[in-house]
Structure 1
Amino acid sequence: MTPRGPDPLGTASRRAALRLLDAVLRRGESLEAALPGATRAIPGGPDRGLAHAIAAEALRRVPDLDALIDSATQHRLPDDAKARFALRIALVQVLALGTPPHAAIATVLPLVDGGPRKLVHGVFGTLMRRDATLPEVPALPPLVAERWGAAWGEAMVEAAARAIAAPPPLDLTLADGDAVAPEGGTLLPGHVRLHGAGHVPDLRGYADGGWWVQDIAASLPARLLGEGAGTVLDLCAAPGGKTCQLAAAGWQVTAVDQSQSRLARLRDNLKRNALDAEVVRADVLEWQPAAQADAVLIDAPCSATGIFRRHPDVLHRVRPAVIAELAEVQQRILARAADWVKPGGALVYATCSLERAEGEERAEAFLANDARFVPESVAMPFGETERGWLRTLPGMLADAGGCDGFFVAKFRRGL
C-alpha cells in the first residue's frame, strides 16, 4: 500500500469536529463540555471556532443530512458508523457553510481508512452530482418532535424547526439607561437586540461595562422581582446574568452556584459591570443561608432544551430519563429553598426548558406540597400565562428574531 502524504490543510479542524459529533451523538456529552478536549491539538483560535461551527451546524441538520446519506447508499449505514459521521461533516460544509466541494471532501477523507474511505468518497460524489440540497426548514429529531408535539401542538414543532435554521440574534441587558452599548433593536426596557453582532468583546461599550449578554427570555425571571427591596438569594446563579440584573436593580444579592468555572464567569461579569454581590460556591441542596431573604430566585438546573437555538446538541442528547431526573432535583431545590423565604416574601422558579415536567408540573406539585405559598400573577409583553405563570415558546417574537424557551413562576409566601 502506498503511504498517503500529509493531511490537507484544515484537516485538524474536521478531525476535531468529528470528535465533537461523536461526544454528543454517541456519548451524550454537551457540545461545550466536549470542546476543550476535542480541540486540544488545534493551536489556533479560528481553527477551533471552525470545528465548533461545523459540529454545531451538523447538529442542527442531523435528520436532513442522514436522509441524504441514506438516499445514496444501498445498505443503511449504522448511526454510529465513522463513515456516516464523516459524510455529515463533508455535506454540511458544502450545503450549509459554503465550503467548496473539493475542500470539504479532501479534508474529510483522512478521517476514515480502508473501505469506508472509498464509500465516503463515492456517496459524497453521488450527492454532489445530484445537486443535493438541504431543506430551508430543518427537520427536528423524530423523538423531540413527537415529545414537543404532544406537549405543545404541531404549530410549536414547526416554529421550533424554523427557529433552529440559523443561529439566533444576540440580546444584551443594560444595567441602566446611561450604559454605553451598541445600537440595535429594543423589545423591553433595558434591552438591546443585535443581528450578526460578531465578537462580543469587540462591541461598543464592552470594556466600560454596563451591559451583559442575556437572551431576552432569560431576563424575565429577575424582572419579575422588580426594583431592589432588600435581600435576595440567587440560586444556581452562574454565569451571572440574573445576578447582575438583581444587583443593578438595587437588591442585596447572595449568588450561589457549585461550578467553579461558571462562578469565575459570574465574578468577571460583576467586576466588568462594577456591580456587587456576595458569591458563594456551594451545592444548594447542602448549603444553608445565615438568614431568610426577602426574595429567592431559583434558576434551576434543567435539560436546557429551551436554548436549542444556540445549543443544538440538547436535541440529540436529552432523553426522557434525563428530564425526569432533573425534574426531581428541581422539586428538591424548590422544597428546600421555600424555607429561606421570609413571610410575605417572593419565590421565583425558572427553567430554560421546553418540558412541562421541568416547568408547569413542578409548579403545580410545589403548590400542592407547600400551603404557605400562593401563585402570584405575572404579566409581560410576550409569553403565555397559565395560573399567572409565564411560558415562552418557539415562534414567539419570531418576526424580531425569536426567543429562548423558558418557564417562570412567581410565588408569594403568606404572612
Structure 2
Amino acid sequence: MNAQSANPRAAAVQLLKRVLQKHQLLEEVLDPTLKGLTPRDRALARAIVSTTIRHLGIIDTLIEMMLDRPLPEKAVDVRHIVRIGITQILYLKIPSHAAVHDTVKLVPDGSKHKGLVNALLRRIDREGEDMLQTIDIPRRNTPDWLWTAWEDQYGAETARKIALAHLDEAALDISVKGSPENWAERLEAEILPTGSLRRKSGGSPADLPGFEAGEWWVQDSSAALPAMLFGDIEGKLILDLCAAPGGKTAQLVTAGAHVTALDRSKSRIKRLEENLQRLKLSATLVVADAEIYTPPETPDGILLDAPCSSTGTLRRHPDVAYLKSAADVEKLGALQARLLDAASRQLKPGGILVYSVCSLQGAEGEQQIAALLARDQSLERRGIEPNEIGGATELITSDGDLRCLPFHLGGMDGFYAARLVKITSG
C-alpha cells in the first residue's frame, strides 16, 4: 500500500467519490475502502466522511461564499478535498495546523489548485464560525426534493425541525429480550417511554455486556414500534415480510409468536439467520418474493416492513439524502402498493396487517394506506392507542396511524406504520 492510499484523509476523499459520484451506499463501501488502515486512521476517515456528508449542504454553501467563480466540473477531487478540510476545522475541531497542512498535501504538487485549497481552508479557520451565522442551515443542508416534500406534508416549521434533527448523530437504541430495567443499569442506558433502551453512540455494540450472549439487539426506538401493534401474539402465526435483518422478527419471536420470516435475498436471509442464532431465537426462514408468495398456512397477522426510500434514517445514513430522489419514491411507491395487495390476499379474516416504512415521505406512508383502503374494501384501519406505545401521543396521527419524526422522544428515526384488520375474505 502506498503512502497516499494509507492516508485517512485520502481515504475520506475516495469515500466521498464513491458515494457522491458513483452513488454507492456509504455503509457498503466503508470496509473495502478503509482496508489496510490502522484502527485509529479508520476511525478518523470514517468520522471525516460521515460528518462531511451530514453537513454537505452547509459545507458547499461555505465554498460558494468564498469563491468568485465556481470550481470547474473537472476539479471534483479538489472540491472533495476542500470539503473534508472544512469538516475537520469546523465540525471535528481538529487543530487547524494539522487539518490544513495534511489536507493541502492531498493536492498533487504542481497543481494550480494547491494554493487555492490552502487559502480557502485558512479563511475557514479565521472566519468559518462567523460565516456559519449567516447561513439558513436547515434549508441549505437539505436537498430541494426533500425540503419541498416535507414542507408540503408537514408545513414549514416542522420541515425545519426535521432538518435540524438530521444535524445530530443518532444515539444507540436497543431492544432487549429480558427486563429493560436490569439491562438499562448494565448498559448505562435510559429507558424510553416506548420500552427501548438508549445510550450515547460511540464504540462497538459488540463490546457491550450481553451482546455476545444474545440478550439484546440494536434497533432504533421507532423501528421497534410496528411489531408491538399486534397486541398479544402468544402462539399465533405471524408472517414477517421483507424481514431482514431481523430486528422485528426477533421482537415477534420473543413475544411468543410462531414466525415465518421472508425475504427475497438469500444473503439478507443469511444475515437474519446469523442474527437469530446470536439471540438464540428461531423462526421459519423463507427466501421468496413477497408479491407472489403463498403461505402454506394462512397467518393470523402479517408485518410488512416495506422497501422504501429510507429518508427517515438520515441521522444514521445522511448519504441517503444524496442517493435517493423523488423518482425513487414514486418507483418504490408502486412496489409498496403491490406488496400491500399481496399481503391482503395472504391474510385470514380477522387477521391484522401492520404496514411500516422508515420513510418521512407521505407518498410511502399516509397516502399509500389511503389508496389501499380506497381500493380494498376487505380491510379497515384499527387506530393505535397511546397506551400501546408507552403513552407517546405525539406519535399518533389524527387517523390513528403511527408517524415518528426525527425530533420526537429526544431523537428517533422517521417512521410510519398503520394497523389494518381483514374484515371480509374479499
Map of 2:420 onto structure 1 = 411
Aligned counterpart for 1:376 among listed residues 382, 385, 395 = 382
CA distance in 2 between counterparts of 1:176 and 1:366 reads 37
CA distance in 2 between counterparts of 1:156 and 1:311 reads 20
Task: Report if aligned partners of 1:70, 1:77 keep a CA contact under 8 Å in 2.
Answer: no
Aligned counterpart for 1:342 among listed residues 337, 340, 348 = 348
Aligned counterpart for 1:63 among listed residues 57, 65, 71 = 57
Displacement of 1:203: 1.4
Task: Report if aligned partners of 1:16, 1:39 keep a CA contact under 8 Å in 2.
Answer: yes
Aligned counterpart for 1:332 among listed residues 333, 338, 362 = 338
Task: Report if aligned partners of 2:292, 2:342 keep a CA contact under 8 Å in 1.
Answer: no
Q: 1:410 to 1:112 in 2, by over 3 A?
A: same
Q: TM (normalized to structure 2)?
A: 0.88
Q: After superposition, where does 1:92-131 map in structure 2 within 5 Å?
A: 92-113=87-108, 114-130=111-127
Displacement of 1:172: 0.8
Map of 2:163 onto structure 1 = 161
CA distance in 2 between counterparts of 1:66 and 1:43 reads 28
Map of 2:323 onto structure 1 = 317
Task: Report if aligned partners of 1:389, 1:409 keep a CA contact under 8 Å in 2.
Answer: yes
Q: 1:191 to 1:120 in 2, by over 3 A?
A: same
Larger CA deviation: 371-380 vs 190-199: 190-199
CA distance in 1 between counterparts of 2:114 and 2:282 reads 57
Task: Report if aligned partners of 1:156, 1:394 keep a CA contact under 8 Å in 2.
Answer: no
Q: 1:371 to 1:260 in 2, by over 3 A?
A: same
Q: After superposition, where does 1:173-322 map in structure 2 within 5 Å?
A: 173-177=175-179, 180=183, 181-188=186-193, 190-196=195-201, 198-229=203-234, 230-322=236-328
Amino acid at match of 1:176: G
CA distance in 2 between counterparts of 1:11 and 1:36 reads 14
Q: 1:264 to 1:12 in 2, by over 3 A?
A: farther
CA RMSD between the two structures: 2.3
CA distance in 1 between counterparts of 2:170 and 2:406 reads 12
Displacement of 1:132: 4.1
Displacement of 1:300: 0.3
Q: After superposition, where does 1:35-74 map in structure 2 within 5 Å?
A: 35-40=30-35, 42-74=36-68
Aligned counterpart for 1:26 among listed residues 21, 26, 29 = 21
Task: Report if aligned partners of 1:170, 1:194 keep a CA contact under 8 Å in 2.
Answer: yes
Task: Report if aligned partners of 2:194, 2:221 keep a CA contact under 8 Å in 1.
Answer: no
CA distance in 1 between counterparts of 2:230 and 2:141 reads 35
Task: Report if aligned partners of 1:183, 1:192 keep a CA contact under 8 Å in 2.
Answer: no
Displacement of 1:312: 0.6
CA distance in 1 between counterparts of 2:271 and 2:303 reads 19
Map of 1:81 onto structure 2 = 76
1:206 is paired with a residue whose SS is coil
Map of 1:3 onto structure 2 = none
CA distance in 2 between counterparts of 1:258 and 1:153 reads 37
Map of 2:142 onto structure 1 = 141
Displacement of 1:386: 3.2
CA distance in 1 between counterparts of 2:206 and 2:187 reads 12
Aligned counterpart for 2:369 among listed residues 363, 371, 375 = 363
CA distance in 2 between counterparts of 1:135 and 1:218 reads 34
Displacement of 1:110: 4.2
Amino acid at match of 2:120: V
Amino acid at match of 2:89: V
Structure 1: tracts of 5 or more residues without a match:
1-5
CA distance in 2 between counterparts of 1:271 and 1:238 reads 14
Q: Could you say which structure has the higher helix fraction?
A: 2
1:268 is paired with a residue whose SS is helix
Larger CA deviation: 144-153 vs 320-329: 144-153
CA distance in 2 between counterparts of 1:133 and 1:53 reads 24
CA distance in 2 between counterparts of 1:280 and 1:12 reads 43
1:407 is paired with a residue whose SS is strand
Deviations 1:46-79 (A, max 9, x none): 4333322211101111121112212222212257
1:296 is paired with a residue whose SS is strand
Task: Report if aligned partners of 1:378, 1:389 keep a CA contact under 8 Å in 2.
Answer: yes
CA distance in 2 between counterparts of 1:134 and 1:57 reads 18
Q: TM (normalized to structure 1)?
A: 0.91
CA distance in 1 between counterparts of 2:260 and 2:280 reads 16
Displacement of 1:286: 4.0
Amino acid at match of 1:67: T
Displacement of 1:7: 4.7
CA distance in 2 between counterparts of 1:134 and 1:198 reads 33
Is 2:405 the counterpart of 1:393?
yes
Task: Report if aligned partners of 2:89, 2:125 keep a CA contact under 8 Å in 1.
Answer: no
Task: Report if aligned partners of 1:174, 1:190 keep a CA contact under 8 Å in 2.
Answer: no
Amino acid at match of 1:395: F
Q: 1:105 to 1:283 in 2, by over 3 A?
A: farther
CA distance in 1 between counterparts of 2:142 and 2:201 reads 27
1:130 is paired with a residue whose SS is helix
Larger CA deviation: 128-137 vs 221-230: 128-137
CA distance in 2 between counterparts of 1:402 and 1:134 reads 28
Task: Report if aligned partners of 1:292, 1:340 keep a CA contact under 8 Å in 2.
Answer: yes
Displacement of 1:198: 2.6
Structure 2: tracts of 5 or more residues without a match:
none
CA distance in 2 between counterparts of 1:344 and 1:39 reads 51
Q: 1:135 to 1:212 in 2, by over 3 A?
A: farther
Displacement of 1:31: 1.3
